[in-house]
Structure 1
Amino acid sequence: MKKYIWALLPLVMLGACKKDFENLNTNPKLFPTVPAPTLITQAERQLSNALTSANVNNNVFRLVEQQWQETTYNDESLYNFDTRNINRQMWGSLFRDVLNNLKLAKDIIPGDPTVVGDVVKKNDIAIADILQVYSFYYLVTTFGDVPYSQAFDSKNNFPKYDDAATIYKDLLKRLDADVAALSGTASLGSADIIYGGDIAKWKKFANSFKLKMGMTIADYDAALAQTTVKAAFDAGVFTDNADNATLVYQAATPNTNPIWVDLVQSGRNDFVANATLVNQLNNSNGILDPRAAVFFTLYKAKPTDAGIYLGADPGVKANYESFSHVGPTLTTTTAPGLLLDNAEVQFYLAEAAAKGFISGRVAAAYYNTGVQQSFAYWKAGDSSPYLALNPYSLNNLAIQKWIANYNRGWDAWIETRRLDFPVLHKPATGAFSDFPVRFKYPVDEANVNPANYKAASAAIGGDVVTTRLFFDKNAMPK
């Protein structure tokens, strides 16, 4: 009898599988679809991480901009970005972890039951698109031509690269449409870890970023730059540090400040202060820049010494114990990521006023406000004595933007190329190339999408770090 039972058992099981196959193969703990707000949360976090990270596999711009110098490894300080495939990490983090998540969110929102109300859906889509515009800005100002019109098409494994200037102009149109689409007050709420879903703040951010985009192309297309800047200014841009686009990291992993992860949790001593920045801070027309005390620690040859701010020469591998270190303000678990701040906006307004793009306050007034706001952000005290010795001039404007962009190396690099000042390329001893004015395409692109890679490389003038991109019209001074 037993053998008959065992013989019938497979038939019983087969019937059960046929009847409940779908239920048995469905994980009850997984959402059938991902709620769109969670994708936006993740995209914001990944975007901030990409801009904030100090990991040399992901973000090397503090080294390029001679804010920091390396100790253990030295390749990146010498503009060798190929050994670690750094360009692949940057490309992947923006395309895969940020832009793709935002694209998925925009596709899901219209039918997402967790997003209630047409106004909320419209606002959420607009915010996601603003973040996409922001992300593409860094791609085209870093690489040049990139996949755009055919990006994220699952049916096309070999997307073409669109012209960077054409992409840029389309991004401006998208930004205008996004601002027009924002209305009311309801949106992502706490799922938005930058502004908490505050629609008014997102409008001001979009206008301020539009101002930034306008000034970035001032040398490329002055007419478009002027109309873009004036429209953004008239619509309302940042006026205070309370407007800053900030992502506050958490005390518990995995949502901690990436710099804490890279410098403290890892137990690594890979960076010290760079002499280029430290020397500027030590002697800003006869005065010590108070921000030095926030940026770096004092170096003491002996414990009883008063200490000085001392930086290592750019490109020269440094002994960690012999120089100033990264200040503790940056290395706490909750130190924020910063996507755009008022000091930067005020410096753009100063330049715009000097060029006649906007009217009202004179350039010097915006410049002074920019310095004051930078001091306030870094809690560096009264800026009046400093401004008295460092008044407005075009050169001082470029220097102050560079200093204010401390810890925001990617933005500092864009501005250094655009303004051709301060001159940072001369002191990089033993560099692999001239000062890099773009990053090469990832080697994966050459291998997987060779025809479009070759076309894009030829279109921009060669896939090398010395090819100037469309907005960078002037050669770096020698």
Structure 2
Amino acid sequence: MKKRILIFASLLTLAACKKDLTSLNVDPKNPSSVPSYSLFTEAERLLTNTVTSPSVNLNIFRLIEQQWTETQYLNETQYQISYRKQPDGIWTAFYTNTLQNFEKSKQAMKVDVKDAGTLKNETAIADILQVYSYYYLVTTFGNIPYTQALDITKPFPKYDDAKTVYSALLTRLDADIAALDPGAGSIGGADIIYGGDVTKWKLFANTFKLKMGITIADSDPATAKTTVEAAVAAGVFKSNDDNASFQYVASPPNTNPIWVNLVQSGRHDFVGTSQFIDLLNPNKATQDPRLPYFFAKSASNSIYEGADNGTGDGSLAFSDYSLPGGPLLTPNATGTLTNPDFPALLLDYSETEFNLAEAVARGFAVGGTVESHYVAAISASVSYWTGANPTPAYLAQANVAYATAPGTTPLEKIAGQEYIALYNRGWDAWIVNRKLDYPKLVPPPNAFSDFPVRFTYPISEQNINKPNYDAASSAIGGDLVTTKLFFDIH
């Protein structure tokens, strides 16, 4: 009897061992397949972090646009983009992280999603965000890998002509808009921006189409006109309720990257520039209502004070100047961009109204007047930041009212106020500034180059994809920060 029990126990042990051996082939930390919705959510997060982050290794456009300056390490303020290899960081952030994850999510959707209508919607939404991602690449570098970019069989992709890529993106966006069906299902809660609301995504796509059209208004006015007018006819943002907002959470790891880089890390050497804060607080008297939401008062004298751009060398005390966000970057300070859960914007109503103002100024048939859209744009920005509409007195101030605002042309007046409204969206401020050449930014002392109108290609591309890099550099007129891109012709 005892012998039988031992044999039975041994058989059980062997059976158990056989089952365990099979399970050892599964790595729970590296699954062989990932659900499409997980890939989509991660791609949304990575994309939003990229365009929002203030990291000196990635997104330095608040410094280039002189909304912020540095008090100690001046490399980024002085346009030294090779020191921390920001071009490599941007390239990786978009190609390796964002675009690849959206592409993988689209492929996984073909397996995960059984309903044809839902699949069509989810694929279109992911593709819209790929178009959005490529927009920033092509307006930052010029010619870029596109047709071969996400093909794993092409480890050394060729570069496509920037203007051709842009045209392809507009065609792709139109196809996505046509594919969206509000009557069918979608990705739901995996979409942090709109919760899978297909109607909202259609509105987003048309509003982004308006933006893309306005971007090429100088270089290709005919295409810009037809693109803008078609987008507006189809419907664009009408209020801040339409904003494409990504809501971060209060606890790591999914926190606002501004909080991560400035508060969690204890970094205090980013302060407002005197130029930018003086725009918000002329003569230290007529304060812009957004100022307390953009910056804290200086710790040393309790006033809003900016540092002259690019003058810090380690001798400036950050406590003498206004830091971004709430008082002394206090975590959870109500209403400031340094909150861990402060949301990020990918596209907003204020920017839309500025684009419409510009469209009217250029003679496009979009309705309204330059002034009506200009006022609506400023009002939307103030309302977003403060929670209240601007007062008539504020809108009537000489530096704000359309008739008396700085600038000698309608486009300069628009650009001057859009520069303020695009605070916290430095990448977009840089695009608008290059297109409209306003406001005029004085180079920082000891700048490493002239004002960068593009970023040079990554060092990694120069090393491992040299033939295609060389061809692209030659095609655009040289891999220099001063080489103007296809949309920037003035």
Choose which of 159, 162, 165 in structure 2 pairs with 1:161: 159
Match in the other structure for 1:332: 339
Match in the other structure for 1:219: 218
Match in the other structure for 1:6: none
Cα–Cα, structure 1 residues 264 and 117, in superposed 2: closer, same or farther, change >3 Å? same
Listed as ranges, the matches of 1:130-209 within 5 Å are 130-183=128-181, 184-209=183-208
Is the CA contact 2:354–2:414 (under 8 Å) kept in the aligned structure 1?
yes
Instruction: Out of 19-28 and 63-72, give the one that drifted further.
Output: 19-28
Structure 1 unaligned runs (5+)?
1-12
Is the CA contact 1:88–1:444 (under 8 Å) kept in the aligned structure 2?
yes
Choose which of 398, 414, 426 in structure 1 pairs with 2:431: 414
Instruction: Out of 386-395 and 463-472, give the one that drifted further.
Output: 386-395
Match in the other structure for 2:406: none
Cα–Cα, structure 1 residues 440 and 29, in superposed 2: closer, same or farther, change >3 Å? closer
Match in the other structure for 2:372: 365
Match in the other structure for 2:332: none
Match in the other structure for 1:310: 305
Match in the other structure for 2:390: 382
Is the CA contact 1:126–1:178 (under 8 Å) kept in the aligned structure 2?
yes
Match in the other structure for 2:480: 464
Cα–Cα, structure 1 residues 88 and 131, in superposed 2: closer, same or farther, change >3 Å? same
Listed as ranges, the matches of 1:204-353 within 5 Å are 204-283=203-282, 287-299=286-298, 301-302=300-301, 307-317=302-312, 318-328=316-326, 329-353=336-360
2: distance between equivalents of 1:383 and 1:296?
Answer: 21
Counterpart residue identity of residue 461, structure 2:
E
Give a deviation string over 1:386-415, Cα, whole Å, max 9, x none: 221322243221111100000100000000
Find the residue that maps to 1:197 and give its secondary structure: coil
Report the alpha carbon displacement of residue 20 of structure 1 after superposing the two structures with TM: 9.3
Instruction: Out of 178-187 and 221-230, give the one that drifted further.
Output: 178-187
Report the alpha carbon displacement of residue 428 of structure 1 after superposing the two structures with TM: 1.2
Is the CA contact 1:371–1:383 (under 8 Å) kept in the aligned structure 2?
no
Give a deviation string over 1:331-361, Cα, whole Å, max 9, x none: 1110011100000000000010111112421
Match in the other structure for 2:123: 125
Match in the other structure for 1:9: none
Is the CA contact 1:75–1:81 (under 8 Å) kept in the aligned structure 2?
yes
- TM-score, scaled relative to structure 1: 0.91
Whether 1:441 and 2:489 are equivalent positions in the alignment is no
Listed as ranges, the matches of 1:35-114 within 5 Å are 35-112=35-112
Structure 2 unaligned runs (5+)?
1-13, 327-335, 403-409
What is the root-mean-square deviation of aligned Cα atoms in Å?
2.0
Match in the other structure for 1:391: 401
- TM-score, scaled relative to structure 2: 0.89
2: distance between equivalents of 1:38 and 1:284?
Answer: 51
1: distance between equivalents of 2:236 and 2:284?
Answer: 31
Counterpart residue identity of residue 212, structure 2:
M
Is the CA contact 1:298–1:324 (under 8 Å) kept in the aligned structure 2?
yes
Counterpart residue identity of residue 55, structure 1:
S
Report the alpha carbon displacement of residue 326 of structure 1 after superposing the two structures with TM: 1.0
Is the CA contact 2:299–2:319 (under 8 Å) kept in the aligned structure 1?
no
Whether 1:401 and 2:418 are equivalent positions in the alignment is yes
Find the residue that maps to 2:69 and give its secondary structure: strand
Find the residue that maps to 1:430 and give its secondary structure: coil
Is the CA contact 2:356–2:366 (under 8 Å) kept in the aligned structure 1?
no
Is the CA contact 1:185–1:198 (under 8 Å) kept in the aligned structure 2?
no
Give a deviation string over 1:354-379, Cα, whole Å, max 9, x none: 11112421111111100110110011
2: distance between equivalents of 1:202 and 1:180?
Answer: 12
2: distance between equivalents of 1:109 and 1:374?
Answer: 37
Match in the other structure for 1:7: none
Report the alpha carbon displacement of residue 30 of structure 1 after superposing the two structures with TM: 6.0
Cα–Cα, structure 1 residues 44 and 28, in superposed 2: closer, same or farther, change >3 Å? closer
Choose which of 462, 471, 481 in structure 2 pairs with 1:455: 471
Is the CA contact 1:434–1:466 (under 8 Å) kept in the aligned structure 2?
yes
Counterpart residue identity of residue 397, structure 1:
I
2: distance between equivalents of 1:402 and 1:284?
Answer: 19
What is the aligned length? 454
1: distance between equivalents of 2:255 and 2:285?
Answer: 38
Report the alpha carbon displacement of residue 152 of structure 1 after superposing the two structures with TM: 1.4
Report the alpha carbon displacement of residue 308 of structure 1 after superposing the two structures with TM: 2.5
Counterpart residue identity of residue 295, structure 2:
F
State the identity %: 53
